[in-house]
Every structure is written in C-alpha cells, then in structure tokens.
Structure 1
Amino acid sequence: MACDVVQNAVRFGTLDPRKMEDVTSSVLRDGCFVNPWDTWREPSFGTGLKFMFTRSESRLPSKQELDQILPVLTPDFSAPPNSGIKVTWLGHASLLVQFDGVSILTDPIFSSFCGPASLVGYKRYRPAPCTVQELPKIHAVVISNSHYDNLDLPTVEQLNNRFGRNLRWFVPLGMKDWFTKTGVEDVIELDWWQENNIPSHSEVTFAFTPAQYWSMRNYIDRNKSLWGSWSIIGPYHSFFFAGDTGYCKAFKDIGRRYGPFDLAAIPIGAYKPRALLSPQHVDPPEAVQIHSDIQARQSVGIHWGTFQLGKEGYLAPLEDLKIALDKVRLTDQDFFTLKHGETRLLAEEEDQRGE
C-alpha cells in the first residue's frame, strides 16, 4: 500500500494543529473545571427542584406497545469492516463503532438503571440489546463525562473482567484515579485537544475535544473532572462522538480542526424544559447545527429512547428531528436514528484503499 494513499485518505480540517491558541482550552478554577462560554448556566438546587416538579409531556405505553414502536433487535456482531464504518446502537449514548481495524464503545451502559442505586436512579425502559459477554473484541472505550448514564460502574467492571489490559479506556482529565481504583489497568486521561492512540493501532488518533457540560458522581466531586467529546481519526475514516452537551461555539472549532467527519453521534433527547436544560442538552435543531458545524457527512441520533431523563414525550426526539432536518433541507440519510441493536454500514463507497 502506497504511503501517499494513506495520507490522502484522511481529510483533515484547515486549522493548523500546532496553533493551540486558535481553539478554546479547558479552564480549571479553584480546583474545579468551568465552561468558558457565555452560553453556559450552572445547574443549581433550585433548577433541580423546578425540573422535578415539571410535568412530563407524555407517559410511556405498555411493554407490548413499546416492543412494536421501539423494537430491540439482536445485534449481528462481527469484525470491523474491510471498508466503511459500521455502527450499532446499544441504547442511550452507547454505540459500537467499527472502522479502520478497530472496535470502539462509547459511554457503555448495560445496566437496567442509571444512578447510584436503583431507588435513586432512572430505570431503563428499553433493555440492552446484548450483554457484555456477547460483544465482539473491543479495542477501546471512550467516556464523555462522569454522570451515571455515561459512566456505569457495573458495566466498567464487566468490561474490565472480560478484556482486562487488552482494552484501552480514554477518559476526561481528572477521572484516571476512579478507573484505577476500579481495577482498570490501561486508562488514558486527556485534556481538551490532547491526542493518544491504541498501541496495536497507532494510526488511529483519539482526540479529546470540548463540549458544554458538567460532571458529578457525588456531592463532593462536582466538576472535579472534565467533560467533553471525542474526535477519532483513522487512516481512512473519522468519527465524532458528542457525548452530553449544550450548544456552544466549540463545535465549529472541532470541525475546522478535525472535520469533515464520515460519521457523528449527536444527542437528540432529554431537552425539555428548554429553560432549564438548554445549557447542558441540545435539542434536535441544535443537534442538526452541530452536524453542520463539525462538517459531518452523516450523523446518528443518540441519548434518547432508553431512559426518561427529560420531560419531552418519548417519541418527541424523532418528531422534532424530522422537523429540524426539513427546515435545512436535509434527510434521514444525512441524520438518521437506529433501532436498539440495529447495525448500519456507512461510507463504504468512499473507502480509498482501492481494494
């Protein structure tokens, strides 16, 4: 394989990677990370109370109806594709993404609830489509923040028991100690714009990029660890994982530095009431804006259909996403959703290896 083919296959953005002054760095103030954008408002105790007493727009139907409306498929796992990007939705923000020889999990959660305990967490209303034991070989896991729906201790322990030191974990700055105490041996923590890779696949770059959010697992660690998104660049394809985020100007920076992306995973759920949740959770129109900002060729909607974290109806993310796409003349091929356990192969025709 000619070296120039490999170099031309990755289409990096126009931002000089050496010019860190051109992007927004993380900010640590008095031992806590803070969002550097004026679009951020810090959640307060009062905000939490208002949210608790806000009525939900709809109730979940029976399990029989859910099985028809939001079916859970049995995933058909296999090795990373020879060409293109293969993506499987495992529910909420959990994806299996496979390309350029690697298999990557995003914010994996296979538990029946998210929270410190079942009585103080959110119950899963659509089951996980598989177990950890049924997964194929995983090379890396990326974590976006420390919240319980993004960082699930039982899932971390199960993955670690199965794969051990053969699995590399990429986590935000300030979270390495948590993983080490859990028994994870291979964990890399990164600040915004820092990069690393997997030793066996050094040609695939994992870059930790910004998001507008916050972190907390208990009452004493609020914002002690960073949060963010992930830009993963291989020799032939690229993938962006937004994690949890409100809308901010950082996504244009990400697009200039690492775009265009072949595939992006962008949250579309848990966005109402907007007066309370807009700083930390994008709604479908903002998700479509992120799709544009980062120069994604295709995007998949995540962070919906699994836990009732917002007050919108459980199908509202799908309905509002269609409205948002229509307004900018995009289709469900540009920005799509998957059934639980569904797999889709993308960008196969754009592979430049000439096989």
Structure 2
Amino acid sequence: MAKPISYLRNDALPTVKPGYPGNKLFGNEFANGEELFEPSFANLLKWQLSANPQKEEKKRDTWAPTVVDCAAAFASTEDMLVWLGHSCFLLRVAGVSLLFDPVLFSSLGLRHRHALPCLPEAIRSIDFLLLSHGHRDHLDEKSIKLLARQNPHMRVLSSLRMGPLLRDMVPGLPVQEAGWWQQYDLGPSSPLEITYLPASHWHRRGLTDLNQVLWGSFLIKAADKLIYFAGDTAYDDHFEAIEQRFGPIDIALMPIGAYKPAYMMAQSHVNPHEAAKAVNVLRAGHVVPMHYGTFALADEPASEPLRQLTEVAAGGMLRGELHTPAVGEVLRWRDWE
C-alpha cells in the first residue's frame, strides 16, 4: 500500500521560497525533495562482505590533519572561523558565536584520528548550536550534555522533529526547529539571519526512526557576507536552487570525505570532484573543506579527499579560493576578499 503524502514545516517561522509547501513526508518519513530515499540493507551487506580494493593503501596511509591549540578562541570576541575536526566549526559573526555539529568525544565506531584542538571544557560562550542532522558523527549525546552544562544560555537551531531527540538528552534544552527554506527567529536585534536549507541525505539513529528527523544545511547572512554550511549531502539540484535564490556564496564549508564505495556512499556524500562542482555551482568565493581526516567512515585512504580537492584547485577547476586549515587554526574570514 502506498504511503500517504503530506507536507510539514514550522508555521511559526517564515518560508523564504515562495510557494514552497514544506518538507514532503511519505507516511512518517521525510523525503529528499520529492523522492523518498531509504538506504539499502543489501548495499550495506555487500560493503561489509566485500574486500576494499584500497585496503593496503588505506592501512599504510597514516596521514592526519595537523592540530594547533585553539582554546583562546573561545575567550575572544573577534570574528573568526575555526575547524575543530570533521564537520565541527566555531564561527563567530558580528560577535555572535555559532558552533556546528560537535562530536567532541570518541565512541564505539567513531574513534578520533587526531586530538581535539582544545579541552572540551574550553568550549564556552556559545550563543547558538547549529545541528544539521541526527547522524552520530554530527550529533553526539555526550557532547550535547557537556555543551548545555557549560553554555546555559545556548540555543539550538536544527531541523523538524529534532526537538524531542535533543530534549531526551537535555530536558529543557531550547530548540528551534525549521524545515527547508525557513528562516530562524533570532530576535529583532540580531545582526544575523540564519536559514535552514536542503541537503540530499537521510536520518537514522536507531532501528525504528528511519528518516523521522529532517536533515539539511545552513546559510548565515551577516552584513554583506553569505556563509554556507552544507552539512552531509550527496550531489543534487539543491545547490542550483540555493544559488538561484541567494546568489553567489562568499564562503562554503563543504564536505569532501566518506565517498567509497560509490554504490554505498554516492547517495549520502559528495566526493571531492562533486564537492568542487557544488561550490562552483554556488559561485563560492572561498571554500573550506570538512568531513575528512577525523573519522574512518569509508573505504578511501585518509589523505585522499584533501589531495584530490587540492589537485582540482591546482588545475584551475575550482572557482573559489581553497583554504585548508589545520584543526584549531584561526581563520580571519573577514579579511578575505
């Protein structure tokens, strides 16, 4: 029997795309735009039972990102961008501190390949915690609990149906849920605009919650700058739609890792060449890669994603300027032309 179709959005928030009815649901499952995507168990089984053709290369590849201490960044008031590893960034914009997708601790199946650039206890003065989606390499319960204790005034900006999941971790945690193309309410005096935008991905944390929490990306507008955080995503036409709606992006934080084997990963993650295509479509002036080097999530060797993206840029095939910071390095993004 076909699943009933409905649409969902947060009616308390404005929708910036005219005529957009909300996120499409097949029964209780969110879709990728118009299409329902359910990861194939057969593909997972095939992956687990197949030999990785790059197994020995991956084993020999011990590269990891350089790490520098960034504890002082959390006591500063300067505007900056700091990569904390994987998809976690500190972004300070107009004096407001945003933290994206923090996973501060190793856990079963998610072992950090490099050190955190500061003690977790140093991560304070966070105004907004931005969570793109619910996968465990982006949303870690121990990290959420620690950050809530250390940042009692922190507010969470995330996706439809994320609130109950987070409040099971931290009762009373203030969570604002948005659907795609919806702008968060940051208050009348906020110097920022933050909009939740599409991504091509999926959700699962347990056995019974497939696609029941939405996934997406973020656009931060401050004065004359547009900063885009792509979350986890496959390549799809949402990049064109975002560019058509907002125009050229100034800074794109774009994932580049966890793409092999393609039959398993291509509908979840971009590879480095697709990432380059995406930022070119967005007409991004500056590109900061993420989602590589921290966890071993797929079959490619650790150094391959950044090496391939660097080769693309060196060949003149990347529209924007590529920035490849050390973990913990402070980037003065306000100085970028």
TM class by shorter-chain length?
0.7 to 0.9
**1:136: how far off?**
4.3
Could you tell me how far apart the structure 2 residues matched to 1:346 and 1:203 are? Answer: 17
Are residues 1:108 and 2:108 paired? no
With over 3 angstroms needed to count, the CA separation of the structure-2 counterparts of 1:112 and 1:18, relative to structure 1, is closer
Match of 1:92 among 86, 91, 97: 86
**1:251: how far off?**
0.9
Are the counterparts in 1 of residues 37 and 202 from structure 2 also a CA contact under 8 Å? Answer: no
**1:174: how far off?**
0.9
Match of 1:156 among 144, 157, 162: 144
Could you tell me how far apart the structure 2 residues matched to 1:349 and 1:337 are? Answer: 14
Deviations, residues 17-58 of structure 1 (Å, cap 9, x unaligned): 86523x6952111011011367x8531111111222344423
Partner of 2:6: none
Match of 1:308 among 251, 271, 296: 296
Match of 1:27 among 20, 24, 35: 24
TM-score by length of 2: 0.87
Where in structure 1 are there 5+ consecutive unaligned residues?
A: 1-16, 351-355
Are residues 1:265 and 2:253 paired? yes
Partner of 2:41: 45
**1:226: how far off?**
0.6
**1:163: how far off?**
1.0
Paired amino acid for 1:157 = K
Partner of 1:79: 76
With over 3 angstroms needed to count, the CA separation of the structure-2 counterparts of 1:55 and 1:130, relative to structure 1, is farther
Could you tell me how far apart the structure 1 residues matched to 2:150 and 2:40 are? Answer: 39
**1:335: how far off?**
2.2
Are the counterparts in 1 of residues 199 and 234 from structure 2 also a CA contact under 8 Å? Answer: yes
**1:342: how far off?**
1.4
Match of 1:139 among 127, 139, 152: 127
**1:186: how far off?**
1.5
The list of structure 1 runs, each at least 4 consecutive aligned residues, that deviate by more than 4 angstroms after superposition, is none
Partner of 1:59: 58
Matched position secondary structure for 1:90: strand
With over 3 angstroms needed to count, the CA separation of the structure-2 counterparts of 1:217 and 1:88, relative to structure 1, is same
Partner of 2:228: 240
With over 3 angstroms needed to count, the CA separation of the structure-2 counterparts of 1:20 and 1:131, relative to structure 1, is farther
Are the counterparts in 1 of residues 58 and 300 from structure 2 also a CA contact under 8 Å? Answer: no
Could you tell me how far apart the structure 2 residues matched to 1:24 and 1:294 are? Answer: 24
Paired amino acid for 1:276 = M
Could you tell me how far apart the structure 1 residues matched to 2:188 and 2:147 are? Answer: 19
Are the counterparts in 1 of residues 23 and 30 from structure 2 also a CA contact under 8 Å? Answer: yes
**1:195: how far off?**
0.6
Are residues 1:130 and 2:118 paired? yes
Could you tell me how far apart the structure 2 residues matched to 1:54 and 1:339 are? Answer: 34
Could you tell me how far apart the structure 2 residues matched to 1:36 and 1:349 are? Answer: 34
Are the counterparts in 1 of residues 162 and 177 from structure 2 also a CA contact under 8 Å? Answer: yes
Are the counterparts in 2 of residues 144 and 172 from structure 1 also a CA contact under 8 Å? Answer: yes
With over 3 angstroms needed to count, the CA separation of the structure-2 counterparts of 1:25 and 1:335, relative to structure 1, is farther
Matched position secondary structure for 2:184: strand
TM-score by length of 1: 0.82
Deviations, residues 291-311 of structure 1 (Å, cap 9, x unaligned): 122222101000000100010
Could you tell me how far apart the structure 2 residues matched to 1:346 and 1:282 are? Answer: 24
> Matched residue pairs, number?
317
Are the counterparts in 1 of residues 123 and 150 from structure 2 also a CA contact under 8 Å? Answer: no
Are residues 1:170 and 2:167 paired? no
Matched position secondary structure for 1:88: strand
**1:314: how far off?**
0.4
**1:106: how far off?**
0.8
With over 3 angstroms needed to count, the CA separation of the structure-2 counterparts of 1:186 and 1:200, relative to structure 1, is farther
With over 3 angstroms needed to count, the CA separation of the structure-2 counterparts of 1:241 and 1:19, relative to structure 1, is closer
Partner of 2:12: none
Task: Tell me the percent identity.
Answer: 30
Partner of 1:334: 321
**1:236: how far off?**
3.6
Are residues 1:322 and 2:279 paired? no
**1:137: how far off?**
1.3
Where in structure 2 are there 5+ consecutive unaligned residues?
A: 1-14
Are the counterparts in 2 of residues 172 and 226 from structure 1 also a CA contact under 8 Å? Answer: yes
Matched position secondary structure for 1:275: helix
Are the counterparts in 2 of residues 80 and 99 from structure 1 also a CA contact under 8 Å? Answer: no
Are residues 1:70 and 2:65 paired? yes
Are the counterparts in 2 of residues 55 and 311 from structure 1 also a CA contact under 8 Å? Answer: no
Are the counterparts in 2 of residues 197 and 203 from structure 1 also a CA contact under 8 Å? Answer: no
